[in-house]
């Protein structure tokens, strides 16, 4: 992989013309050329762009021809041109945060892997420590990225403790551009229902989105000794809490966002709620569409590669969740990327799964996995791929000037080719020693990725 940046020394303006591509937004597909200048999309030349009249079309043709001599030109004939993809749920550096190892280059490595795979923005979590104000949690997390990020990044703030001046604290983070908070209903950082309601009530007033990791903790505790990992964290735990959050959303009029939906029952509950007008967004992840509990069927060290929560479910769950994507019930597909090392954090605990680190990587392959599955195999319109992986996350999280290819927006662009490739560890740059998708053959990957008009070649 060669990183190359266009020469911008001496005040010379950087101009790139991407010609002859198929420009795909969530609501349109047009054939045309894109002029990128100084990091933004300067012009789109297309007969189909915004209903131009004939005279104007001639003028565009002329200026396009003039430009050819003064630009770097990239020929995108036969390629899709997508808006830069956004991963709304990632955990770079989490193994380090949890004390698994120290002083790694996680932020550098993982943001680079994201970019190579076509993701130009990731959203991470600034987690509140006990006694800490939300704004301090945010600022502390931001510092971790300084000088290390290869792609754009934004934050949700995870509330682990409700303090008396919650409303004012939410105003403070909103003023810093954070429009979403995250709540847990299990693990040590879980909030009780009375606190969840308080957060949702405040966020409703402030027009902020509340993301929830839905697993009812009492059910997890009840099932913790089950030897089947999928049943240690059963679908009932997820669906119970999904229903609770949906009802809290009805009561508070707060917009909620259910993270990493893994089961058909939860998808069904969300579909019904949407039909009744509840303000609920649904997120799922590639692993819940592609992998299932077959991975847990033979006890072996290998199965620890697939230990995450919620766990992988059954084949019918894969099918129901794919259907939810095809029918527009799913709003966002993110990774929940969490890059533990197989050798150090997983393999040796296969006889006591509770000790194995929970989480799997996937930040680099997300777009290829989903393009291959939904567009190539299930015939999803590429416009809907853009909706799930770029436009919706930008809109839901109020990420300005992203998720849509139009004049004036940041030149975060992916030129996509329908090439087949095999997932081997030499192409994976996620900073882990395994990929849950190793060995898979996929169709579709970035040929070039532009971020603020600067290009890296795929």
Q: Name the packing angle between helices 166-175 and 134-145 (round to 10°).
A: 30
Could you tell me the smallest distance in angstroms from the CB atom of residue 192 to Zn ion?
Answer: 20
CA separation for the pair 166, 159 (Å, rounded) = 10
186 cis-preceded (ω within 30 degrees of 0): no
Q: What DSSP assignment string belongs to 194-214?
A: HHHHHHHHHHHHHT-EEEEE-
State which residue, 117 or 359, has the beta carbon closest to Zn ion.
359
Instruction: Report phi then psi at 62, rounded to 5.
Output: -65, -50
State which residue, 82 or 125, has the beta carbon closest to Zn ion.
125
Sign of the dihedral through C-alpha 186, 161, 257, 295: negative
Pairing of strands 15-25, 28-37: antiparallel
Pairing of strands 413-422, 441-451: antiparallel
State which residue, 106 or 336, has the beta carbon closest to Zn ion.
336
Could you tell me the smallest distance in angstroms from the CB atom of residue 444 to Zn ion?
Answer: 25
State which residue, 127 or 336, has the beta carbon closest to Zn ion.
336
State which residue, 336 or 412, has the beta carbon closest to Zn ion.
336
Instruction: Report phi then psi at 260, rounded to 5.
Output: 30, 65
Contacting positions for Zn ion (CB under 5 A): 336
State which residue, 32 or 286, has the beta carbon closest to Zn ion.
286
State which residue, 76 or 338, has the beta carbon closest to Zn ion.
338
CA separation for the pair 388, 334 (Å, rounded) = 9
State which residue, 213 or 271, has the beta carbon closest to Zn ion.
213
Give the number of other Cβ atoms within 10 Å of residue 230's Cβ: 20
Could you tell me the smallest distance in angstroms from the CB atom of residue 336 to Zn ion?
Answer: 4
Task: Using CB positions, name the residue nearest to Zn ion.
Answer: 336
Q: Is 128 exposed, middle or buried (0-12, 13-18, 19+ CB in 10 A)?
A: buried
Could you tell me the smallest distance in angstroms from the CB atom of residue 89 to Zn ion?
Answer: 6
Could you tell me the smallest distance in angstroms from the CB atom of residue 90 to Zn ion?
Answer: 8
CA separation for the pair 6, 335 (Å, rounded) = 30
Of 208, 197, 322, 309, the C-alpha closest to 255 is 208
Could you tell me the smallest distance in angstroms from the CB atom of residue 361 to Zn ion?
Answer: 12
Could you tell me the smallest distance in angstroms from the CB atom of residue 338 to Zn ion?
Answer: 7
Could you tell me the smallest distance in angstroms from the CB atom of residue 288 to Zn ion?
Answer: 13
């Amino acid at each position: 992989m060669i990183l190359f940046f266009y020469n911008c020394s001496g005040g010379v303006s950087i101009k790139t013309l991407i010609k002859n591509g198929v420009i795909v937004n969530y609501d349109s597909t047009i054939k045309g050329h894109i002029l990128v200048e100084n990091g933004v999309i300067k012009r789109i030349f297309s007969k189909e762009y915004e209903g131009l009249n004939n005279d104007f079309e001639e003028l565009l043709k002329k200026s396009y021809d003039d430009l050819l001599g003064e630009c770097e030109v990239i020929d995108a004939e036969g390629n899709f041109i997508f808006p830069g993809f956004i991963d709304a749920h990632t955990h770079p550096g989490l193994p380090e945060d949890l004390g698994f190892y120290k002083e790694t280059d996680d932020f550098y490595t993982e943001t680079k892997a994201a970019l190579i795979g076509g993701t130009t923005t990731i959203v991470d979590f600034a987690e509140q420590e006990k006694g800490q104000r939300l704004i301090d949690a945010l600022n502390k997390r931001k510092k971790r990225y300084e000088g290390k990020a290869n792609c754009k990044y934004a934050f949700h703030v995870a509330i682990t403790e409700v303090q008396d001046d919650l409303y004012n604290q939410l105003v403070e983070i909103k003023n810093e551009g954070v429009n979403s908070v995250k709540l847990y209903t299990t693990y040590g950082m879980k909030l009780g229902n009375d606190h969840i309601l308080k957060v949702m009530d405040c966020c409703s007033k402030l027009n902020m989105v509340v993301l929830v990791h839905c697993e009812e903790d009492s059910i997890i505790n009840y099932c913790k000794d089950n030897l089947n990992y999928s049943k240690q964290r059963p679908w009932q735990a997820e669906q119970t809490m999904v229903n609770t959050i949906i009802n809290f959303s009805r009561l508070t009029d707060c917009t909620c966002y259910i993270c990493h939906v893994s089961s058909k029952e939860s998808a069904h509950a969300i579909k019904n709620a949407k039909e009744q007008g509840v303000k609920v967004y649904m997120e799922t992840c590639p692993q819940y569409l592609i992998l299932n509990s077959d991975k847990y069927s033979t006890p072996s060290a290998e199965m620890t590669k697939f230990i995450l929560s919620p766990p992988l479910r059954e084949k019918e769950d894969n099918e129901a969740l794919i259907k939810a994507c095809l029918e527009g019930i799913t709003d966002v597909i993110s990774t929940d990327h969490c890059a533990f090392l197989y050798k150090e954090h997983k393999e040796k605990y296969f006889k006591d799964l509770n000790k194995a680190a929970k989480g799997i990587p996937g930040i680099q392959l997300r777009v290829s996995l989903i393009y291959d599955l939904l567009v190539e195999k299930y015939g999803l319109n590429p416009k809907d791929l853009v909706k799930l992986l770029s436009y919706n996350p930008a809109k839901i999280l109020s990420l300005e000037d992203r998720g849509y290819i139009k004049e004036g927006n940041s030149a975060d662009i992916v030129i996509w080719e329908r090439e087949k490739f095999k997932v081997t560890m030499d192409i994976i740059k996620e900073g882990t020693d395994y990929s849950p998708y190793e060995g898979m053959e996929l169709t579709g990957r970035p040929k070039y990725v532009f971020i603020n008009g600067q290009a890296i070649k795929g």
